[in-house]
């Protein structure tokens, strides 16, 4: 089975349409969206006039078999994440302005101070409210975990990024609990694919660094427990694309949508 995996679209409808065409060219059997379908931060992107949150959501709904919510999707829907890495959101969080949120959260969660208004309608928001924060998908010979980020912050709603090996312990436990072989996440907006492994030859792959970036577009995955961080579909100043998982060959190909 060939599975196309998209992440971090951020209302970039032109890039999403291009990615969907490429997925068809590569004969993907199923498609996955790892979240942040919507959410346009005016500090980081320059496609303000062409963005279209509603069109992106409609394309994802009509083309993807598995869809999870990212932090921007939850914010747009006015929904609290269930998994928030221990942070308790104030009751009036969505009535606060960004500065009030910053004070209340002490920088522990995103406050969306530069988020541009979207063209989402009520039924779109209801759909975003219904999305799961993670999915375990059984594929022939493989069980995958699809989430926007890593447990215990599967939606990427907090400002903490995983950098050290010990910070992945809860994620490995979560994968073991759900009998998962490989987890796929986005959110970090790296320009290369990144990999993490709990053990190799009974030793941690790295005593300190959690994820290791690899400058390649084709990978053989093998049978190790693996967490994979994918590059985004949206971006102005970095390489963007989506992943193509071949579950029979156990290969992962990165299909570039722009090359910097």
Residues 18-70 pLDDT 10s:
999 999 999 999 999 999 999 999 999 999 999 999 999 999 999 999 999 99
Instruction: Give me the CATH number covering residue 208.
Output: 3.60.21.10
Q: Domain residues for 200?
A: 2-258
- pLDDT band at 179, cuts 50/70/90? very high
Contact 136, 145 (CB under 8 A): yes
> What pLDDT, in 10s, does the model give residues 98-139?
899 999 999 999 999 999 999 999 999 999 999 999 999 999
Instruction: Compute the residue count for the chain.
Output: 260
The model carries a pTM of 0.95
Whole-number pLDDT of residue 31? 98
- Structural domains in the chain (count): 1
pLDDT (average), residues 152-158: 97
In the chain, count H helices and then E strands: 6, 12
Contact 13, 50 (CB under 8 A): yes
Nearest to 56 by CA among 6, 113, 111: 6
Averaged pLDDT of the chain: 93
Whole-number pLDDT of residue 202? 45
- pLDDT band at 201, cuts 50/70/90? very low
């Amino acid at each position: 089975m060939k599975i196309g995996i998209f992440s971090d679209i951020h209302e970039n409808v032109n890039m999403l349409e291009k990615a969907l065409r490429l997925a068809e060219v590569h004969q993907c059997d199923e498609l996955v969206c790892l979240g942040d379908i919507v959410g346009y931060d005016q500090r980081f992107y320059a496609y303000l006039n062409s963005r279209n949150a509603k069109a992106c959501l409609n394309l994802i709904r009509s083309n993807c078999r598995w869809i999870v919510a990212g932090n921007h999707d939850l914010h747009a829907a006015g929904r609290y994440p269930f998994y928030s890495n221990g942070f308790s959101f104030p009751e009036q969080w969505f009535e606060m302005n960004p500065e009030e949120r910053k004070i209340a959260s002490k920088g522990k969660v995103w406050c969306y101070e530069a988020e541009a208004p979207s063209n989402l309608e009520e039924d779109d928001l209801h759909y975003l409210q219904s999305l799961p924060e993670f999915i375990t998908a059984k594929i022939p010979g493989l069980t995958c975990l699809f989430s926007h980020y890593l447990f215990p912050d599967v939606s990427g709603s907090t400002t903490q990024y995983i950098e050290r090996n010990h910070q992945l312990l809860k994620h490995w436990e979560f994968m073991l609990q759900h009998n998962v072989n490989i987890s796929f996440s986005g959110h970090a907006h790296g320009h290369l694919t990144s990999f993490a492994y709990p053990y190799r030859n009974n030793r941690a792959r790295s005593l300190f660094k959690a994820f290791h970036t690899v400058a390649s577009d084709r990978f053989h995955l093998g049978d190790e427990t693996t967490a994979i961080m994918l590059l985004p579909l949206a971006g102005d100043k970095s390489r963007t694309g989506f992943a193509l998982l071949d579950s029979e060959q156990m290969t992962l190909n990165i299909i570039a949508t722009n090359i910097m």
